[in-house]
Structure 1
Amino acid sequence: MNPYVEPQVNPQVELVVAPVVEPQAEPKVEAPKQGRPRKYQTEEEAKEKARVQRKQFKQRPREKQKVFKSGISELQLSAQKLLNKVVLSKEDLIKVPEIIEGPKEQTDDISN
């Protein structure tokens, strides 16, 4: 008798591959910002506004200077330039207001 031997069958092992789940990036919730809010959205915008402000700041003294120069005579302008070049002593500084106020008082007396 021939013993009947069943062929050995290797049980097939199915590999169960779990689907790869990548951790999803959770949407970042912005924390409330502390401190003063930004005045300008971009750095370029801030630089542009700063440039305009500097220009306006420099413009005011120029306008005042133009008004001043248009209201004075050439002789007064030359006197101002000369005073800027000279170093005045304390005595000279005391005399300057007296000289300036002197003619005004005399003209007031004459007009009355």
Structure 2
Amino acid sequence: MCPSHSTSITTPRSGATATRLPSIVDCLRSKTASSSRAPVAVPVIDTVGAGDAFEAGHLCEAINGAEPRDCLDLAVRTGAFACLAPGDWEGYPRRDELGLLDSSEPVTR
């Protein structure tokens, strides 16, 4: 998460405390550096869902406080995985599969 953006509020009458957790937008705004990364070459089966996978990978790392380059790395990898299978979500990887794209052998789904 982005703990520096958490806000605690205590109500005067009841003394109850509520914590506002950061939104995804708050987390993304805190990332001020820009990054670039080369694409991952994969045999494209279907590009449907690749953009959603890219965004999901980026947001997953961003809300966990990762650096922009790490957010982009996961985004590129998840987007590439999505292209390996037909359909919109069927090619999405599990975290333990992300290293497969570094293999010298082709990855298929």
TM-score, structure 1 as length reference: 0.24
Higher relative contact order (CA 8 A, sep 6+): 2
Q: Which one has the bigger helix percentage? A: 1
Q: Which one has the bigger strand percentage? A: 2
TM-score, structure 2 as length reference: 0.24
Larger Rg: 1
